[in-house]
Amino acid sequence: MGKELSAPLLRTARLLDLVPYLHANQGISIKELSVEFGVTQTQIQSDLTTLWMCGLPGYTPLELIDLEFESGYVTIRNASTLAKPRKISFDEGLALLLGLQLLTERIPSDRLDLREDIDVLSERLSHNLGVPKTLRISSEIDPEISQQLINALKSSSDVEISYHSLYSDKVSTRRISPQIMYEEDERSYVQAHCHLSNSLRIFRIDRILSCLVTDKVDVGEHEIDTTNLIELTPSQETEKNQISYEIRVISATRDIAERFGIQSVLKEQGNQAAQLVQLQSFSEEWVERAVLATGADIELTGPADIRKEVYNRAKSLLKRYTSK
């Protein structure tokens, strides 16, 4: 049996259904209308009063729905945008269907009730849309990894993870004690105590390649300073190890702005070329790879040791082409 809607949701649905019904039944009495919608006459009058104050943006008499019902009979005008019965469009239905598939991947395997409800909804949507119910989109997050993290949180256990670092482009093995999972800016994260660095770290779940629940932990031993939460960077463990570097922007492209996070700088300076920008990073390797990836759009002006490494890498890459 489906879950009943709350009173506000029921009223919203009724209001949306009232408009096309009144369009098709001009002059209907309030008594008949209340019987048709299964509510009291007082409730119908309240609904009509609410509709009378609705309309398109601007909300002047020209945009508001025009209703007359003081005589006990209802007529409606200026509501052509809602004249048709409410129905999910193809795009809306497709988005819902894909969203349900993503939900299925995120729901723990032991919640069969939720999976069955989603399956029923997916069946109805696929039938109405005329598309296969097996329509799928891939999630960047392995549902098994999410489940392991959830299990670890429930049992206060440790987990061993293999983690791919964006900064160093390397995979490291870590033992962590998960504390909370959350989403931010369309990304999923787990906040955990990292035993290797003996500090609190934030891991992006889509970068966790493997996850294995291990022994339980003593919660008391992890009372640590949480004032400097940062995302895990295996080669540079703390903020004090940040390195400063400077680039000269030759071509202010979107790729440059997003790769180095300088959208605001370029916006303030009007996307001027050949401008110097001071930046910081946790990883020299990341800086080297980022500079090489941008080609001639930027120039790394400092520090000298990273410039030299970029030069050596570029020279090595060119040598591979010329040697063939």
Q: Which of 181, 208, 231 is the last residue of a domain?
A: 231
Asked if 31 and 58 sit in the same domain, the reply is yes
Q: Given a cut of 80, is residue 221 above it in pLDDT? A: no
What distances in angstroms separate CA 169 from CA 19, 233, 285, 290, one per listed residue? 58, 10, 8, 11
pTM of the model: 0.42
Which pLDDT does position 288 carry in this prediction?
Answer: 86
Asked if 94 and 78 sit in the same domain, the reply is no
Q: Given a cut of 70, is residue 315 above it in pLDDT? A: yes
Give the strands of the sheet with 66-68, arranged side by side. 28-29, 73-77, 66-68
Integer Cα distance of 45 and 41 in angstroms? 6
Q: Which of 72, 107, 129 is the last residue of a domain?
A: 129
Considering the chain, what percentage of its residues have pLDDT values greater than 70?
78
Cα dihedral across residues 194, 197, 201, 207: positive or negative: negative
E strand spans, 21-142: 28-29, 66-68, 73-77
Q: Given a cut of 50, is residue 236 above it in pLDDT? A: no
Which pLDDT does position 171 carry in this prediction?
Answer: 85
- Which CB contacts under 8 angstroms, 24+ apart, belong to 94-101? 94/129, 94/131, 94/135, 96/121, 96/125, 97/122, 97/125, 97/126, 97/129, 97/131, 97/133, 97/135, 98/135, 98/137, 100/125, 101/135, 101/136, 101/137
Asked if 62 and 14 sit in the same domain, the reply is yes
Asked if 222 and 246 sit in the same domain, the reply is no
Asked if 30 and 105 sit in the same domain, the reply is no
pLDDT tens digits along 96-119: 888 888 787 777 777 888 888 888
Q: Which of 199, 231, 263 is the last residue of a domain?
A: 231
User: How do 66-68 and 28-29 pair as beta strands?
Assistant: unpaired
User: Is 138 contained in some domain?
Assistant: no
Q: Provide CB contacts within 8 A for 143, sequence distance 6+.
A: 105, 106
Asked if 154 and 223 sit in the same domain, the reply is yes
Mean pLDDT of 26-55: 89
Asked if 150 and 226 sit in the same domain, the reply is yes
Q: How many domains does the chain have?
A: 4
User: Is 236 contained in some domain?
Assistant: no
Asked if 318 and 246 sit in the same domain, the reply is yes
User: Is 31 contained in some domain?
Assistant: yes
Mean pLDDT of 70-84: 77
Of 194 and 8, the one with more pLDDT: 194
- Give the model's confidence band at 230: pLDDT under 50 very low, under 70 low, under 90 confident, else very high: very low
Which pLDDT does position 139 carry in this prediction?
Answer: 60
- Which CB contacts under 8 angstroms, 24+ apart, belong to 55-63? 56/81
Which pLDDT does position 115 carry in this prediction?
Answer: 84
Asked if 147 and 225 sit in the same domain, the reply is yes
Least confident of 13-27, 78-92, 135-149, 151-165: 78-92
Mean pLDDT of 245-274: 78
Q: Residue 275 forms beta bridges with which residues? A: 249
The phi and psi torsions of 271 (rounded to 5 degrees) equal 55, 35
User: Is 308 contained in some domain?
Assistant: yes
Q: List the CATH number of the domain containing 204.
A: 2.30.30
- Give the model's confidence band at 82: pLDDT under 50 very low, under 70 low, under 90 confident, else very high: low
- Give the model's confidence band at 73: pLDDT under 50 very low, under 70 low, under 90 confident, else very high: very high
Q: List the CATH number of the domain containing 23.
A: 1.10.10
Angle at 234 between CA 230 and CA 238, to 5 degrees: 45
With beta carbons less than 8 A apart as the criterion, state whether 237 and 198 touch.
no
Instruction: Work out the mean pLDDT of the chain and round it to a whole number.
Output: 79
Asked if 74 and 104 sit in the same domain, the reply is no
Asked if 176 and 155 sit in the same domain, the reply is yes
E strand spans, 63-170: 66-68, 73-77, 157-164
Q: Which of 201, 146, 204 is nearest to 179 (CA)?
A: 201
Integer Cα distance of 224 and 199 in angstroms? 7
Q: Given a cut of 90, is residue 159 above it in pLDDT? A: yes
Asked if 227 and 261 sit in the same domain, the reply is no
User: Is 137 contained in some domain?
Assistant: no
Considering the chain, what percentage of its residues have pLDDT values greater than 90?
13
Q: Provide CB contacts within 8 A for 273, sequence distance 6+.
A: 249, 250, 251, 252
Which pLDDT does position 59 carry in this prediction?
Answer: 58
- Give the model's confidence band at 29: pLDDT under 50 very low, under 70 low, under 90 confident, else very high: very high
The number of helices, as runs of H, and strands, as runs of E, in the chain is 10, 11
Q: Given a cut of 80, is residue 308 above it in pLDDT? A: yes
Which pLDDT does position 56 carry in this prediction?
Answer: 62
Q: Domain containing 250: what range?
A: 242-322
